[in-house]
Structure 1
């Protein structure tokens, strides 16, 4: 019997990749809970920043876009740049996509992946099953990659937690627990600003603390976008158009340039529709940096250096760090130690070649871990358009 390809992860990139592999007739086993990060690690009531055009999973055949799901579900079509997508609708769309194109999904966890001397990979599941795969695709999304800066981590000695002094934004589904509390949200991106708004609307007293160049700002609405520039899923700009549709040359740029662009392109900026819900409801403190965080009495207090050079203290009942995610192969502990040591990395991220293959033949990465090689488009669902067909084509040629 032909050894299957293992796809680890059932979010947008995992499901899209699996659909393309299946369409090529390649045996594939897909592991994970469908859309789990979106369902369990995003706040209730969240709306997607991305437009409908940027929110469809790429499929090998027509009929599986977000608009197609809306038609099948009998709900209003979400198609224009002014249509805003509730996270619940997006989760239901991903589950519908899975049922249609990846019906054999296995809701179990991969606990170990090791390279076999005879070729291929040995995988162990949390069910106890051991099996051999000819290739492995890592599509684990944001899982295990949440980033907590050192100046905040010191106040979370036992790790970030919603019930402790400091948590990470990915740990919050229900923000009503902070009703009547003083809450500080650290960050200036969409995650920070929307978390702040949802917490304020749930009855919390909220202050956003943005650091360094992270000035709180919001994007322009669709009707104010410049018309003389090319259109992309992220807005009208030549750079965004290039990053969206021509990511191939990105991996040939110097490492310092690649990491800078992944971090700064489409950086901290709130969605245009969030401004009215934010302004006047949430306090903002723009500071040079957070010097330290203390929680001696159980409640956190930030010592900050202000933009004019003063030192100030900001106290709250809880701090939410909306400080993003950082790819680190060392955090992917399901990959065996020997396998991780054989991987070529750049600042913790795998260095990928053509077709999203790593330095270990047969081991592929897609989604956020691929951003350092293929650019900022890999941070977004629309990155499946470029990644999934190319990964499947390379894998089919190399392991067909």
Structure 2
């Protein structure tokens, strides 16, 4: 009996990878809730920062782009850089892609992955089933990686949570009539702030360090004599998008710096008009601490002039991003996590997205430390999925 490949995760990267593996005739079992991060952990009313061209789930078969979905669903076609994609449209596109290319997705949770004998892996599902897989692809997206900085954790402990991560807030209407602090200066922070303000909250954005609140240029103001990339016109963005293989050979510090700094923090061009005049901004050198005082959060901040100030509100939302740490992937057995080579918590990947443990692959955000910032975005499926599938087919295709 041929052992299947297990793909853990049913977001853009999991679905795209599964489509590529199946196109090569490789038996695949795919596990997870479809598009769950987009469906449950993004704010209601959110619009995608990425353009339609940067929002396609890659697969070998033609006819499965976002534009193809729009045609099939009879909705307005989204194709130009000026077209803005509602999150619910993108989720519906992911569901349509899944129904066509991964129809037998198993909506169960993988409880554990351990090394098998001889070779391969043993998986256990929350249904109680156990089975052997010849290879495992981890494509769990943002799950488990929400980052709450230590200085904000003080008011997040004990009693009602007064400081929470932005990924926990699908319905921002709960803050109507409340005072809200949003920590961060990226798209997540700025759009969360706007949506909360539009829902009736009084909102201040707390921007830390050198990160000033800023918005990108609209498409018609992009430089014309630079190469196009999914993120704008720039030689560096073009290289990072289309030639991610050499990224693995950069010094470790440079790789992690670029993942953090390229394409962020910056608001989408179309968000500026909704933000200005509606959301206040407090730019500080750093947040020193957060504490609960009389049932409300209080942030102590250090201004750029060196003074300490205290900011109060009814609630604090930390739009402080995500930090990859394989220790958070508790379905990986202790032996796997101990033996896995990592770089600052992220798996160290070789050619074809394979980890230091043969047969164990990572794609999407966990691959960014090895393959660059493009892996933070949906358009990274175009680079990652065919290369991963090709490597896996060559290394494991003939094994039973």
Same fold (TM over 0.5): yes
Aligned-pair distance for 1:296? 2.9
Please list, as runs of the form range in 1=range in 2, the aligned pairs for 1:1-400 lying within 5 A after superposition. 1-158=1-158, 164-400=161-397
Runs (4+) off by over 2 Å: none
Aligned-pair distance for 1:61? 1.2
SS in 2 for 1:300: strand
SS in 2 for 1:313: strand
TM-score of the pair, normalised by structure 2: 0.98
Partners of 2:59 and 2:325 in 1: CA distance: 29
Partners of 1:134 and 1:153 in 2: CA distance: 41
SS in 1 for 2:155: coil
Number of residue pairs matched?
Answer: 397
Contact 2:185-2:206 within 8 A present in 1 as well = yes
Aligned-pair distance for 1:117? 3.4
Query: Structure 2: where are the runs of 5+ without partners?
Result: none
Aligned-pair distance for 1:311? 1.1
SS in 2 for 1:72: helix
Partners of 1:350 and 1:127 in 2: CA distance: 28
Aligned-pair distance for 1:158? 4.4
> Deviations 1:114-136 (Å, cap 9, x if unpaired)?
01231110000010100000000
Contact 2:112-2:123 within 8 A present in 1 as well = yes
Query: Structure 1: where are the runs of 5+ without partners?
Result: none
> Deviations 1:331-354 (Å, cap 9, x if unpaired)?
100000000011000000000000
Partners of 2:186 and 2:88 in 1: CA distance: 21
Partners of 2:273 and 2:19 in 1: CA distance: 40
SS in 2 for 1:99: helix
RMSD between aligned residues: 0.8
> Deviations 1:114-172 (Å, cap 9, x if unpaired)?
0123111000001010000000000000001000000101111149xxx5211100001
Aligned-pair distance for 1:395? 0.2
TM-score of the pair, normalised by structure 1: 0.98
Aligned-pair distance for 1:218? 0.2
SS in 2 for 1:206: strand
